Structure 1
Amino acid sequence: MSLVAEAFVTQIAAAEPWPQNATLYQPLKEEQILLSDNAACLAVQAFLQMCNLPVQVVCKANAEYMSPSGKVPFIHVGNQVVSELGPIVQFVKAKGHSLSDGLDEVQKAEMKAYMELVNNMLLTAELYLQWCDDATVQEITLSRYGSPYPWPLNHILAHQKQWEIRRKMKAIGWGNKSLDQVLEDVDQCCQALSQRLGTQLYFFNKKFIPHPSGTKFYSWQQSG
């Protein structure tokens, strides 16, 4: 989201309170949604719940194509439609709800770093497993992703998505990685998060201060 667009959304969002009929859209839960999308949807749901903001979850086969960014989940709040965790967090913050108010600047910077770690490593690993590991693609991904659609559209959409993700993997240097290398990267990421957590129950402070990095890690655990 550009700075101008973000400022506009912030101004609009701040003008209205959170409605009771806010809606979160995601793919069909039982037969369609994939691991990475499930984690993303759980992260937003957990975040909104921690903010005590009501939201109705609606499952739609074409949720990905309804989203303004082409990614799920997205929320419909009043006249606004916002997709993905980062923009949703900023949108909610503009309405006066934040999970990081109890953190100092150093902790906020650290929180951002760990969110980037989860996004860049764990999310990328999920996408790799879903679309680049041949066994997973054939046994799970293609059938689930295309399940709501008739033949041959189900195959066309699934292979189009696979091409898109594999092109992204090549662009970020993951195109030639083996499954073992990806799993090793995930293990190192989890070790880093575990070392940061130590014996504490929460990432920041000894008492509960929920924040977006926590919701991201929680959603990844729950979806795995």
Structure 2
Amino acid sequence: MEKLKSIRESLPAPPIVTFPPMYTPPAMPDNPDKTPILYIFPKSKKLLTSWDVESLKYQAFLVFSHYRHTTRQCHEQDKSPSGNETGRLPFLVNSAGQALAGRDILSELREKVGDLDARLSDIQRADVLAFTAMIETKLHIALIYYLYYDEKNFNLITLSAHKDLYPWPLNLILAKKLRWDTKSWLLQQRPVVSKEAILADAKATLAALSTQLGGQLYFFGAK
């Protein structure tokens, strides 16, 4: 036994290899029990915002509204608390602990920071609805098409971004599942998918938005 012990002590210690953690929890806010939390689909390493369009939309809306909150990345895109009727990201847990999604988030903002459209005239409100409809249909359809439906863009851009979110091979499996789900949704919106028609609609929408914005910082008013 002594001989084995001496041999073991004479051998060099095996190298210790350390790896970065798979996930590092973000810093907690000053008052975590009261600070609202917006749960979003994760961002890739090269992005500052969420990769998911809906998550990005509400990130921008909360920041633009000066609504005090923090964000949390959620890797389960089709899961959310039972209080969220949509069952999808993003969702907001307000200071009362309620899980809100969609229009409920907008209601929360109106209650806490006021109605951002309050200064708009009736004509401007109608224009907002019209431009919003164009963006959420024609422009959004074009974005979905080029990110998920188009094979080349999916492999070069979308799949590459999702590789940073999960370990292999889960990243490939989930990215392709998301592509399948998104393509199914697109076909429900447009049974006949025409690249030329989608591109023409997107160009027309961008031209209309550019004309409306002109040289101003905002589409309507000074804020």
TM-score, normalised relative to structure 2 = 0.69
Q: Is the 8 A contact 1:24 1:76 kept in 2?
A: yes
Label 1:160 to 1:32 Cα distance change in 2 as closer, same or farther (>3 A).
Answer: farther
* 1:87-106 equivalent positions in 2, closer than 5 A: 87-95=104-112, 97-106=114-123
Aligned position for 2:147: 130
Match of 1:139 among 156, 173, 177: 156
Q: Is the 8 A contact 1:32 1:146 kept in 2?
A: no
The question of 1:45 aligning with 2:63 is answered no
Q: Tell me the distance in 2 between the aligned counterparts of 1:50 and 1:162.
A: 30
Structure showing greater radius of gyration is 2
Q: Is the 8 A contact 2:38 2:91 kept in 1?
A: yes
Label 1:198 to 1:152 Cα distance change in 2 as closer, same or farther (>3 A).
Answer: closer
Give the % identical residues.
27
Give the C-alpha shift of residue 118 in structure 1: 0.9
Structure 2: runs of 5 or more not aligned: 1-32
Q: Is the 8 A contact 1:37 1:73 kept in 2?
A: no
Label 1:148 to 1:48 Cα distance change in 2 as closer, same or farther (>3 A).
Answer: closer
Aligned position for 1:72: 89
Higher RCO structure (Cα 8 Å, ≥6 apart): 1
Aligned position for 2:211: 195
Structure 1 residue runs of 4+, over 6 Å off?
Answer: none
Structure 1: runs of 5 or more not aligned: 1-18, 210-224
Q: Tell me the distance in 2 between the aligned counterparts of 1:129 and 1:140.
A: 10
Give the C-alpha shift of residue 63 in structure 1: 4.8
Aligned residues: 187
TM-score, normalised relative to structure 1 = 0.69
Q: Which amino acid aligns with 2:140?
A: L
Cα RMSD (Å): 3.0
Q: Which amino acid aligns with 1:83?
A: A
